[in-house]
Structure 1
Amino acid sequence: MLIIGIAGGTGSGKTTVARSVIDHLGWDKVTFISQDNYYKDRSMLSMQERETINYDHPNAFDNELLISDLMLLKEGKIAISPVYDFTIHARSTSKTIEMQPNPIVILEGLHVLSDENLREMLDIKVFVDTDPDVRILRRVLRDIEERGRTIHSIHDQYLNAVKPMHEAFIEPSKKHAHIIIPEGGHNQVGIQMLSTMTEKYLLENSN
């Protein structure tokens, strides 16, 4: 099993890169994991308390559970991922994702390269590097359209959490990357290179 980790700032195009690679390889060969689904379970807190949590800090993620699920997949076993509901800042109580132990696992998320223990699970480390102005515009559109946020809440969260956490943790994690893909999903050459590397692994391990 080959585990690829794709990190980068908010709105950098991590998911687009991951899905482009999977489209090239075939969804039957790849297990896709979003680190977003592994936010720590805060269901015991009130909505008001949940709204004050810094979700851009590495400690917001339940990496122990994520690593445990990756180990299950490496052992050839099915793993069950939680599903995170951003509209209520909590894990869904009715939905989970059954993850199959496919030959390729692609994990994408803000802090995929920030945690040493998680990095050790990765065979290929990728960082998607996109200009900050492009990233914030994508974040604004996503949070309004998909997560029901107001422009004022996005503004406050960006200045108080997103920007400082990017500078403190995400940007420094770039040094751990084997591959840096500028401009995310628009970089077809970078995506093709990653796809070719992964395809080569599949061919070499098909017997």
Structure 2
Amino acid sequence: MGKTTIIAIAGASASGKSLFASTVYQELVAELGGHGIAILAEDAYYRDQSHMSFEQRQLTNYDHPAAFEHELLVQHLGQLRRGEPVEMPQYSYKTHTRLQDTIKINPGKVIMVEGILLLHDPKLRQLFDISVFMDTPLDVCLLRRMTRDVEERGRTIQSVAEQYQETVRPAFFEFILPSKQFADLVVTRGGQNEIAIDLIKSKIRQLLAE
């Protein structure tokens, strides 16, 4: 299979990471087929909390590095780089814990990973060959987050606003924004930046052709 290139796409919650990554992935799969490229989500690696009550899970700070099982993500990226498939966890935002089912991720020449704290963790950073940071204004992120969490995750506007003030915004300035310095490419306008999407797609095409 040759060398595996791992591309990280990081940034604030609702900054457009998932849209950017999925757009690149889906357009390349449509163009080149599904072989050779895979995508993982950091959110899938939120720690399992099935041993806790729902009330306890609601108190977890989901924007803090401790909320993620990054050691498992590091392990899985290492396996993919060695040409081994992995079973990526699935996470429920409604129950705040992992589902029993997993998703099989096959190795490829290009692995994309998207998540808020990827560039904060030194052990993860050393695995990334290319790092992208989505630089989207926080007010835009908040509006997107409110719409998403209310429509897709069964939240109320009040609960989204409270979480944003208590954990999301502070975590952005403490952990996420400082990690911007480790990015190779800083992308404005979130997942709708067509020039940046084309740049990454061109790079991946080049990697897949090697």
> Which range, TM-score by smaller chain?
over 0.9
Please tell me whether residue 5 in structure 1 is matched to residue 8 in structure 2.
yes
What's the Cα RMSD here?
0.9
> Which runs of 5 or more structure 2 residues have no equivalent in the other structure?
none
The CA deviation at 1:28 is: 2.9
Please tell me whether residue 43 in structure 1 is matched to residue 50 in structure 2.
yes
Which amino acid counterpart does residue 86 of structure 1 have in structure 2?
Y
Please tell me whether residue 130 in structure 1 is matched to residue 133 in structure 2.
no
* TM-score computed with the length of structure 2 as normaliser: 0.94
Please tell me whether residue 171 in structure 1 is matched to residue 177 in structure 2.
yes
Matches within 5 A, 1:1-207: 1-26=4-29, 27-93=34-100, 95-204=101-210
Q: Are the equivalent residues in 1 in contact too, given 2:36–2:107 (CA < 8 A)?
A: no
Quick one: distance in 2 between partners of 1:28 and 1:135?
Answer: 33
Helix, strand or coil: the match of 2:39? strand
Helix, strand or coil: the match of 2:23? helix
Q: Alignment identity in percent?
A: 40
The CA deviation at 1:81 is: 0.8
* TM-score computed with the length of structure 1 as normaliser: 0.96
Matched residue pairs, number?
203
Structure 1 runs (4+) greater than 2 angstroms displaced: none
Quick one: distance in 1 between partners of 2:9 and 2:22?
Answer: 11
Quick one: distance in 2 between partners of 1:18 and 1:165?
Answer: 22
